[in-house]
C-alpha cells in the first residue's frame, strides 16, 4: 500500500529540499548552471512517500552535460560513466545514489517534459525558481494512481516503456489508462526491438513487485509475450483461482517470482531473452513435473519417481505447489517446511569419500547410483544410522556391481 500522497506544492518542495540535504546532494547541485532542473523518479517517489534502497536522480541541464558531469565527478571524487556520448547523457555513482545528467533536447522545459514517458515522471523542480512545474498534471495522476502518457510516440521511441507500464502496476499498484491499454495491445510486438538484457531486467522487476500478481494477470490478459496459443497451454494456470495465502510472506517473496516467470514465458522465450541458467532450469523442471503428473496420478507414483520429484524440486518446491491437487498443497508445504523430512529434503548419512574408504569402491556411475539408493532409503525411513548405511551399501554392491570372471 502506498504512503499518503503530498499534493500541496509547498509540502512537496519542503520534502524535496529535506531529501536533497539528507543525501548530500545540495553541494553537487551547486555546480549546475542556470536553467537546470530535477525531474523523474526522485520527485515522483517523494510525492508518493516512497523510500528505496537505490536513489535515482535525473537532472536536465541546458547544455554541456558531459563537461558538467566531469566537473562534478572530479570535485566529489566519484566515477563518471558516459551513457550516451552523442546525446550527452552521463551518470555519476555516489554510494547508493545514481545521478544522471542529460542535455535539454527541446527549446523549452515544457517541450522536454512532453517528451518523457509518463505524466508521473514529467514533474520538474526548477532550481532557479525553487518551484515545481507540472504541465501534464502528473501530481494529480499520482494522487489517483493512474498511468498516462502525453504522446504514444514517446513510448515508441523506447518500446521498453510498454513493459515498464506493468512495472508501475507491480511496484506502485497503478492503473493503466484505457487509451494506453489499447496502444499496448497494438504495439506490444515492438518490445522485441529492445535489447534482451533490458527486457529481462524489467520482467524481473515486475515479478518481484509487491503487486506482481496484478501485473502478471494483466500481462497474460493482453498476451504481451504471445503465449496464448502454445501447445503446452495446460501449464498456464488460472491465476485468479489460486490461494496464495498458503505461502507465508517470506515464501511469497522468494518463490512466487519463479512461478510468475513460468506463467508468462515459455522456455524458448526465456532462452531467447537470455534469462539466467537458473531461471531456465527452474521453468524446465516445473514444466517437466507438471506434465508428468498430468499423465500420472500422484498416488500412483512409485517410490523412485516420488523421490526424484522431491530431489529436483527441493530448492523451490513452493513454486510448484499450485500445480498440485488442492487437497495436497498445504500438506506438502508443511512437510517441505520441516527440514528434517528426508523425503522433501533428500540427504545422506554417508558421503562418497566414506563409501570409497569403507567399501573400496572407486569414483564412477556405480558410486553415484549407490549414493542415490542410500538417500532414497533414508527418505523412506528404512535407514537410521551410519552402520545400517554401510551394511545396506555392501548389500547393494553385491547385487548391482558388475561381476568380473
Distances (CA, A) of 389 to 6, 361, 386: 67, 15, 5
Instruction: Taking the CA atoms of 20, 21, 24 and 27 in sequence, report the sign of the dihedral they define.
Output: positive
| Residue listed under C-alpha cell 494529480 | 140
CATH architecture of 152-280: Orthogonal Bundle (1.10)
Any idea where the domains of the chain sit in the sequence? 9-144, 152-280, 352-400
d(CA 3, CA 6): 9
Going residue by residue through the chain (405 aa), what tens digit of pLDDT does each one get? 344 566 689 999 999 999 999 999 998 999 999 999 999 999 999 999 998 888 999 999 999 999 999 999 999 999 899 999 999 999 999 888 999 999 999 999 999 999 999 999 999 999 999 999 999 999 999 999 999 999 999 999 999 999 999 999 999 999 999 999 999 999 999 998 999 999 999 999 999 999 999 999 999 999 999 876 555 567 889 999 999 999 999 999 999 999 999 999 999 999 999 999 999 999 999 999 999 998 888 989 999 999 999 999 999 999 999 999 999 999 999 999 999 999 999 999 999 999 998 888 889 999 999 999 999 999 999 999 999 999 999 999 999 877 655
Tell me, what DSSP letter sits at residue 174?
-
Q: Cβ distance 307 to 382 under 8 Å? A: no
- Written as nine digits, the cell of 196 is 534482451
Q: Please check whether the domain covering 9-144 is classified as CATH 3.30.460.10.
A: yes
Q: Which residues contact 63 (CB under 8 A, 6 or more apart)?
A: 33, 103, 104
pTM reported for the whole predicted model = 0.90
Amino acid at each position: 500500500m502506498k504512503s499518503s500522497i503530498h499534493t500541496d506544492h509547498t509540502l512537496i518542495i519542503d520534502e524535496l529540499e529535506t531529501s536533497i540535504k539528507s543525501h548530500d546532494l545540495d553541494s553537487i547541485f551547486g555546480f549546475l548552471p542556470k536553467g537546470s532542473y530535477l525531474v523523474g523518479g526522485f520527485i515522483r517517489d517523494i510525492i508518493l512517500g516512497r523510500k528505496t534502497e537505490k536513489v535515482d536522480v535525473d537532472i536536465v541541464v541546458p547544455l554541456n552535460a558531459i563537461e558538467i558531469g566531469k566537473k562534478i565527478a572530479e570535485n566529489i571524487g566519484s566515477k563518471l560513466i558516459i551513457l550516451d556520448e552523442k546525446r550527452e547523457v552521463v551518470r555519476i555513482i555516489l554510494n547508493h545514489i545514481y545521478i544522471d545528467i542529460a542535455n535539454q533536447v527541446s527549446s523549452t522545459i515544457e517541450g522536454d517534459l512532453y517528451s518523457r514517458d509518463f505524466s508521473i515522471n514529467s514533474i520538474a523542480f526548477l532550481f532557479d525558481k525553487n518551484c515545481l512545474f507540472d504541465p501534464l498534471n502528473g501530481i494529480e495522476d499520482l494522487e489517483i494512481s493512474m498511468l498516462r502518457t502525453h504522446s504514444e510516440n514517446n513510448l515508441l521511441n523506447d518500446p521498453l516503456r510498454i513493459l515498464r507500464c506493468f512495472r508501475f502496476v507491480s511496484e506502485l499498484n497503478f492503473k493503466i489508462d484505457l487509451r494506453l491499454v489499447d496502444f499496448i495491445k497494438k504495439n506490444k510486438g515492438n518490445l522485441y526491438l529492445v535489447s534482451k538484457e533490458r527486457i529481462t531486467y524489467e520482467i524481473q522487476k515486475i515479478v518481484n513487485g509487491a503487486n506482481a500478481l496484478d501485473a502478471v494477470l494483466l500481462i497474460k490478459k493482453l498476451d504481451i509475450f504471445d503465449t496464448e496459443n502454445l501447445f503446452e497451454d495446460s501449464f498456464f494456470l488460472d491465476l485468479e483461482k489460486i490461494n496464495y495465502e498458503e505461502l507465508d510472506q517470506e515464501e511469497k517473496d522468494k518463490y512466487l517470482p519463479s512461478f510468475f516467470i513460468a506463467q508468462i514465458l515459455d522456455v524458448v522465450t526465456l532462452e531467447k531473452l537470455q534469462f539466467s541458467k537458473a531461471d531456465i532450469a527452474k521453468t524446465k523442471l516445473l514444466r517437466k513435473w507438471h506434465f508428468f503428473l498430468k499423465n500420472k496420478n500422484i498416488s500412483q507414483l512409485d517410490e523412485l519417481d516420488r523421490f526424484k520429484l522431491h530431489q529436483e524440486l527441493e530448492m523451490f518446491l513452493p513454486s510448484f505447489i499450485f500445480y498440485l491437487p488442492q487437497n495436497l498443497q498445504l500438506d506438502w508445504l508443511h512437510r517441505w517446511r520441516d527440514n528434517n523430512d528426508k523425503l522433501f529434503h533428500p540427504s545422506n548419512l554417508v558421503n562418497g569419500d566414506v563409501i570409497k574408504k569403507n567399501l573400496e569402491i572407486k569414483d564412477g556411475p556405480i558410486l553415484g547410483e549407490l549414493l542415490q539408493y542410500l538417500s532414497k532409503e533414508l527418505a523412506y525411513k528404512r535407514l537410521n544410522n551410519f552402520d545400517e548405511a554401510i551394511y545396506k551399501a555392501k548389500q547393494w554392491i553385491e547385487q548391482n556391481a558388475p561381476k568380473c570372471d
